[in-house]
Amino acid sequence: MLKLLVIEDHALVREGLVRLLAKIGEDKVLVFDRPDFESALELLENEDEFDLILLDLALPGIDGFAGLDILRRQFPAVPVVVVSAFDDLPTVTRVIHLGASGFIPKAFSGEALLAAVRQVLAGNIFRPGGTYSGARLDDATPVPPSQTPARPEDVGLTERQAQVLALMVRGLSNREIAEQLGLSEGTVKIHATAVFKALGVGSRTQALVAVARYGIDFARVF
């Protein structure tokens, strides 16, 4: 049985994708759908592993690229395919660089979309071809920023709190964070509480959504 997840805020598009994906194979297909990033994270944390995630890049309230990055870090075994109306070369390039297993333009027909998803389920990386005037999606192609990244201190985090949050984004437990930072688990919990307070959230899931919303850059944390 295939388990797929559609993360798309537009109800008609979401419902259309769910109906379409239900036809993807001869085996039973279970398609879940969520309209926002936070509820999708909660589902992923509570359900058994999915076979594929389809992610809209323009979800409200978050930076889509940061959201993709979080999904790849939190659930590295689950391939993510971006489905977006923004199908210019810089967007496709950035999506692939962030670890997506594919990019499907929303302008694709239903048959073309299913064919692309089948390629990803078979272990391939799908990129729309023949539309970029010979430009290549490789390491030589510049990757554009999605927005001006926020530094941890911009949202009120200390250096240690930023380290704790960065490791949360990687999917580490409090115990694993404590081991990596050379702290007690109790101290990590204190820092985590301070992180939640600074971000105005009450849980790890909400903290990850806040990271995606602000596009927090952890490049200089360690």
Q: Which pLDDT score is estimated for 185?
A: 95
CB under 8 Å to 62, separation ≥6 — which residues?
37, 209, 212, 213
Q: What is the fold, at CATH topology level, of the domain defined by 2-121? A: Rossmann fold (3.40.50)
Q: According to CATH, what is the number of the domain 152-214?
A: 1.10.10.10
CA–CA separation, 93 and 136 (whole Å): 9
Domains 2-121 and 152-214 share a fold: no
Instruction: Please tell me whether the overall predicted TM-score, pTM, comes out greater than 0.75 for this model.
Output: yes
Where the chain has pLDDT below 50, the residues are 130-145
Which backbone phi and psi does 81 adopt, to 5 degrees? -115, 125
CA–CA separation, 202 and 195 (whole Å): 9
Q: Evaluate whether 33 touches 5 at the Cβ level (below 8 Å).
A: yes
Which of helix, strand or coil describes residue 157? coil
Give the residue from 67, 105, 68 showing the smallest Cα distance to 83.
Answer: 105
In the chain, what are the domain boundaries?
Answer: 2-121, 152-214
Q: Which pLDDT score is estimated for 147?
A: 58
CB under 8 Å to 218, separation ≥6 — which residues?
152, 162, 165, 166, 169
Q: Which pLDDT score is estimated for 134?
A: 37
Question: According to DSSP H, which parts of the chain are helical?
Answer: 11-21, 37-46, 64-74, 89-97, 110-121, 159-169, 174-181, 185-199, 204-214
Name the residue with tokens 């301070």: 194
Instruction: Considering only CA atoms, give the Rg of the chain.
Output: 18
Q: What is the DSSP letter of 152?
A: G
